[in-house]
Every structure is written in C-alpha cells, then in structure tokens.
Structure 1
Amino acid sequence: MTRALTPIEGLLFDKDGTLFDFARTWNNWSAGLLADLAGDNAALLERLAAAIDYDLDQKAFLPGSIAIAGTTAEIAEVLVAHLPAYSAASLEAYLHQTSAEADLAEAVPLPPFLDGLRTQGLRLGVMTNDGTHSTRRHLERSGVFDHFDKVICCDSGYGAKPAPDPLLAFATAMTLPPAHVAMVGDSLHDLQAGRAAGMVTIGVLTGMAGPEQLAPFADVVLPDIGHIPAWLAE
C-alpha cells in the first residue's frame, strides 16, 4: 500500500552513501587505513578486515558491514579488540582525523544541486552517524557546509540512527511537522529512523544496499539524490 504523502518542506540528508557515493569514497580509502593499522602483520590485517566485513581482495565492504551505517565509535569498538596499542577513544579520534581528509566522490555536483533546492524554499539538513569533525570537514571541502540549515552528527547530543531522535531534532529546529520532512538515505538505518520519526523516506542507491532492501522502508527509491527535484515536481 502506498502511503499518502504530505507536502515536503524540508529534506534531511544522510552523508556517506547519500551526499557522497559510498563505494567510490570509502572502499579504497579503507584499504589504506587497514594497511596502516596492521603494519606488516598480514594476519592482523585479515582480522581487522573481518571485524568490519571488508573484502581485502575486492577492496570493498560487504553489505552487512558496520562501517556502512554505524557510528565511528561503533567501528572503533570492533577494531580496537585487535589493536592493543589503542584505546577505543584514541582509535575513534584517529578515525575521525584520518577520514576527514578522504578523497570525496560527490553523488552529484553538490553546490548547484543544493542551490536548486534552496531556491524552492526547502529547509535542508544533514543527519549522519559520522562525527562532527569529519562531517564538517567533508562538507566544507565540498563547498556546501553553509548550504544546510542544520547539521546533526552522532556526537551532537541527539543520539544516532536508527533512533528517530536526531531526525526529530531537525524538524523541531526548523519548526516543521515531521510529516513535512523527507529523510534521504542509502541504508536501512536511515529509512528506519525516518519511518520512526513519521517522515517521508527517500532511498538512494549510492550506498551499499540494493532497491530490494530499501523498498520496504522507502516511499520511493531513486538512483541518486539528483533525481529528487523531478520526484518532488510529480
């Protein structure tokens, strides 16, 4: 059954896999990160890769990887068990610092895309399970940090997806009913949080999940965020 959708006045975007293509941004970068952490220890490299479901041969994350939708703290927690030289906190800090400088692959050219949405009077936000340091750095490097009315991260004090709380915080800050906001994301965490918040849910295929996985939780599944304006016009 198709849900009856209300007029959309705000768009809340996930970051990795949504604003930025997940595989093109993070697959090769993660291979380098794991190699740096393991040093010359091949057995350790294999253990680290297995801990986050990363295929060393394909240089790609497996669909169930915690790295796709988990917080940086959650990723650090599973890796640190194999890295006694680190604490969970120090490894999390290292991940934030190094990931902030990753080569970013925008899903679409972001400045003109976001400019177009703003000219329609839409309120725009980001809600990511990444941390504040790397999120701000990514958005600033792409020239779009100031395009968003509010940026919420896993360490902003509202919790993390799939809980609806950070999504509701955006709606409250924008003085919009949740039903008038669309959560845009590439993972089940994104869409489940959107549904729990009472928002419209838009799935995109620039992450690691396929349409068959996203469809049960999405009001629409689009190839990428660039298709949103046409969908809104319908």
Structure 2
Amino acid sequence: MTLRADAVLFDKDGTLFEFGATWDAWGKRTLRALSQGNTALLHALAAATCYDLEHETFLPESPVVAGTNRQTAECLATALPGRSADEVETYLLGTADDAPLVETVPLCGFMAQLGALGLRLGVMTNDAESAARVHLRKAGIEQAFAFIAGFDSGHGAKPDPAPLLAFAAATGIAPARIAMVGDSPHDLVAGRAAGMQTVAVLTGPIRTDRLAPHADVVLPDIGHLPGWLAT
C-alpha cells in the first residue's frame, strides 16, 4: 500500500482526546477551586479564560484551546490579586494530570493500526510534556510514540514550526512526508510553516470555516486518517 506520509505528528487535546468532554469539566472544577466561593472572582476568572459559565464550556477563542499552560496561567493571574503566574502555572500542572480523559476514538487499537502501516508517530502539544505523558500513559499509548513534546520541552510552542521540525529531525523523515494532525489553527499554521501536510479534525471547539483555509483536508476525527493516508 502506498501512503501519503511516512509519519504522523498529533496534537493532543481536541485531537487524541475530546476537548470539551476533557477540558470543559476540568475548567469548571479549576475555576471554582480558584475562586473559593467568591462569585465575582469566578466570573472574573471565566472572563479571563473565555469560559462560558452558563454552558460550562470554553469558547473557541479561549487561550486554553490552543495556548500553552503558561499562557493560561498568565490569563488567570490577571484576575487573581496576589498570585503570580508562576504560582498559578504550578497549580494548573498539578490539576491537569487528573483531567477526565475522553478518547476521540479507541486509541490503543488505532495506534496499533497506524503502527502496522509502518508509520512513525509523535505528539506535539502546547500542554506541558509531563502532563502529556501522564495522559498518554493513562490511555495506554505512550509507547506508541517515537517523540513526545510539550511547550516546555525546549523546542518552542505552536504555531512556531520549530517543535514540528524537531520531530522531523528526531525521526529522520522529511517534513513533506509528515502529516500534522490537529484541531486548531495553531496546529495547522505550524504544520504549513514546517512544510508538512496538514490534517484538521473536528473534535475540538473550532469549526471547519476556521480550519479549512490552513488544512489539506478536514476530517470528522482521527479515525478517518488511515483512509485519507491511503488515497
């Protein structure tokens, strides 16, 4: 079988794991914990992170959707007098490990399917690398990846293409033979800048109209990826 690519680099949240089911619940719990029963503070924290309290969901423009853990901490710190971004970031790192993970497809079988095709696999997330490894380990798929990086792994963060090119260098595969798969413009812009093929999925909060201009294809979820790679 001839494939479009020799390697696939995945975003994590909204791509491997359902964004809303995983992070909206985390957001509700985290904002309430930080506000400590102060309703005005809860609303200020929600405004800082673009969290819709009525519908209990992060809005597509939220820094939590595609930004780094540090960027989220900086936004929250603006509404938390007396607490530094460093302190908030440390708190967020501790809570992220316990986020209620919901897989977009059954991941163990899916990764085995891609491995059987001879594809090299990687993850590049704007989450912290330590949290990413915890999440992948919980899903039973950490060992499937030749490369796992977060915003704090020393390669930079998306939409900078540098961490994507680090995956290419680590695997020895030309960027043009790598598919970058993600649910946000950050993922796709980075992929295009790195010279990779770009695949958008709709398992995050951002819709087709914002993703399609940056993508070679828009898929409902990663389960459709093998069929696209083989066409």
Q: Cα deviations across residues 172-226 of structure 1 (Å, max 9, x unaligned)?
A: 1100110000100000000000000000000000001111111000000000000
Query: Within 2, Cα distance between the matches of 1:138 and 1:85?
Result: 31
Q: How far is the alpha carbon of 1:96 from its aligned partner? A: 0.9
Query: Within 2, Cα distance between the matches of 1:209 and 1:63?
Result: 6
Equivalent position SS for 1:63: coil
**Aligned residues of 2:199 and 2:216 also touching (Cα < 8 A):** yes
Q: Aligned residue for 1:188? A: 185
Q: Which amino acid aligns with 1:11?
A: V
Q: Aligned residue for 1:131? A: 128
Q: Cα deviations across residues 17-62 of structure 1 (Å, max 9, x unaligned)?
A: 0000101111122111100000111000000000010000000111
Q: Aligned residue for 2:5? A: 8
Query: Within 2, Cα distance between the matches of 1:63 and 1:7?
Result: 30
Q: Aligned residue for 2:210? A: 213
Tell me the C-alpha RMSD between the 2 structures.
0.9
Name structure 2 gaps, 5 residues minimum. none
Q: Which amino acid aligns with 1:175?
A: G
Q: Aligned residue for 1:35? A: 32
Equivalent position SS for 2:148: strand
**Aligned residues of 1:38 and 1:45 also touching (Cα < 8 A):** yes
Q: Aligned residue for 1:92? A: 89
Q: Cα deviations across residues 82-131 of structure 1 (Å, max 9, x unaligned)?
A: 21342211211110111111110000010100000001110000000000
Q: Does 1:56 align with 2:91?
A: no
**Aligned residues of 1:97 and 1:133 also touching (Cα < 8 A):** no
Q: Aligned residue for 2:67? A: 70
| Structure-2-length-normalised TM-score | 0.97
Query: Within 1, Cα distance between the matches of 2:162 and 2:230?
Result: 29
Q: Identity over the aligned pairs, expressed in percent? A: 53
Name structure 1 gaps, 5 residues minimum. 1-5
**Aligned residues of 2:48 and 2:78 also touching (Cα < 8 A):** no
**Aligned residues of 1:117 and 1:229 also touching (Cα < 8 A):** yes
Q: How far is the alpha carbon of 1:151 from its aligned partner? A: 0.2
Alignment size in residue pairs: 229
The residue correspondences of 1:219-234 to structure 2 (distance < 5 A) are 219-234=216-231
Q: Which amino acid aligns with 1:169?
A: A
Q: Does 1:157 align with 2:154?
A: yes
Q: Does 1:101 align with 2:83?
A: no
**Aligned residues of 2:164 and 2:194 also touching (Cα < 8 A):** yes
Query: Within 2, Cα distance between the matches of 1:205 and 1:57?
Result: 23
